[in-house]
């Protein structure tokens, strides 16, 4: 177990090996201990709880896969699977298209691009709960902004209960969460565009590549790593997002927008903790793949 400063030459004047080692561990210890206690331990505890019949006020007994079997027999559970997949896939695609498109526009040498960039990032600066409460008001059938605009511009004369109708609720939730989530993609892709070496484009021009060829052969490959990491992170966050569904529809109407985190929260509210934990644990396999993939990409990018 050796400690040295990071470059290859040993630097004795920084103190003896043991003292230095102790210092390094002492500095990192608080964060490591808190993460072990507040993330790692609860993580494994949640898995244990999902195999018990724990309710509020009891420690619960091991009951094997009973919670998982029970959940798999309910329609709400299957609705949550389907809805979570739909929300993640559709909003990822929309955020990618909108984020990439706007980043390409702002990346041009346009006068005033800084102002556009600031405005386009505004949803990201708003608290998520504020954004989704505002959208909830916008979607109101009477007095809501969306119906008002549709009526006044003559596009549609009726009154739609956007969040209260099975056919429109999901699309409404997705639109609101794309509104709040696209700036992260926009700014990540914009930063990636700005870091593509100019020489690559010059070389492509020398080789006679036209604009589309340069876009597909230079721009896209250069920003692809950023797009992949952004997609992974955004998928993890969206799949585990609670506010957007909770504040807009609370999973309704009749499970049309039910997702895993809201289902787990309802389980918690009805005090059946074992079942609630099983809901979260059901997500774990897919989530673990995304997280491991994202972690290794982020570690590699960092080195």
> Does residue 67 come out as left (phi exceeding 0), alpha (psi in the -120 to 50 range) or beta?
alpha
Of the pair 256, 259, the CB lying nearest other proteins is at 259
Q: 3 with 11: CB under 8 angstroms?
A: no
Q: Which stretch binds other proteins (CB under 8 A): 64-72, 74-82, 165-173, 181-189?
A: 181-189
CB of 66 to other proteins, least distance (A): 17
Query: Which residues are CB-neighbours of 158 under 8 A, at least 6 positions away?
Result: none
- Cβ proximity to other proteins: between 184 and 255 the closer is 184
Instruction: Select the span of 64-72, 75-83, 88-96, 117-125 touching other proteins (CB under 8 A).
Output: 117-125
Q: Which residues 6+ apart lie within 8 Å of 285 measured at CB?
A: none
Nearest to 121 by CA among 189, 186, 191: 186
Cα–Cα distance measured from residue 224 to residue 150, given in angstroms and rounded to the nearest whole number: 38
Q: Which of residues 218-247 bind other proteins (CB under 8 A)?
A: 219, 229-230, 233, 236-237, 239-240, 242-243, 246-247
Give Cα 20 distance to the centre of its chain. Answer: 39
Least distance to other proteins from the beta carbon of 226, Å?
A: 9
Chosen residue from 104, 160, 227, 286 binding other proteins by CB under 8 A: 104
Per-residue burial over 57-95, b if 16 or more Cβ lie within 10 Å, else e, is: eeeeeeeeeebbeebeeeeebebbbebbebbbebbbebb
For residue 303, the minimal CB distance to other proteins (Å) is 10
67 in contact with other proteins (CB under 8 A): no
Tell me which stretch binds other proteins (CB under 8 A): 17-25, 75-83, 85-93, 161-169. Answer: 17-25
The answer to whether residue 161 forms part of the interface with other proteins (CB under 8 A) is no
> Closest CB to other proteins among 74 and 159?
159
């Amino acid at each position: 177990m050796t400690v040295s400063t990071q470059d290859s030459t040993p630097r004795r004047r920084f103190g003896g090996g043991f003292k230095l080692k102790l210092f390094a561990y002492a500095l990192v210890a608080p964060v490591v201990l808190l993460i072990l206690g507040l993330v790692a331990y609860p993580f494994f505890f949640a898995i244990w709880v999902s195999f018990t019949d724990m309710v509020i006020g009891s420690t619960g007994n091991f009951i094997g896969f009973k919670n998982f079997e029970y959940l798999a027999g309910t329609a709400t559970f299957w609705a949550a699977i389907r809805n979570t997949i739909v929300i993640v896939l559709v909003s990822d695609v929309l955020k990618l298209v909108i984020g990439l498109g706007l980043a390409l526009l702002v990346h041009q040498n346009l006068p005033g691009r800084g102002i556009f960039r600031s405005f386009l990032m505004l949803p990201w600066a708003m608290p998520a709960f504020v954004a989704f409460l505002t959208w909830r008001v916008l979607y109101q059938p009477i007095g809501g902004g969306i119906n008002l605009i549709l009526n006044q511009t003559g596009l549609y004369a009726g009154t739609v209960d956007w969040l209260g109708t099975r056919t429109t609720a999901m699309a409404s939730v997705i639109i609101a969460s794309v509104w709040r989530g696209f700036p992260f993609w926009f700014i990540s892709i914009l930063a990636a565009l700005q870091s593509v070496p100019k020489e690559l484009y010059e070389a492509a021009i020398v080789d006679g590549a036209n604009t589309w060829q340069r876009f597909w052969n230079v721009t896209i490959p250069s920003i692809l790593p950023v797009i992949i990491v952004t997609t992974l992170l955004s998928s993890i966050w969206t799949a585990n997002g609670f506010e957007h569904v909770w504040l807009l529809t609370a999973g309704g109407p009749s499970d049309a927008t039910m997702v895993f985190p809201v289902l787990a929260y309802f389980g918690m509210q009805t005090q059946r903790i074992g079942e609630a934990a099983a809901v979260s644990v059901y997500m774990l396999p897919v989530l673990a793949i995304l997280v491991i993939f994202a972690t290794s990409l982020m570690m590699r990018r960092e080195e």
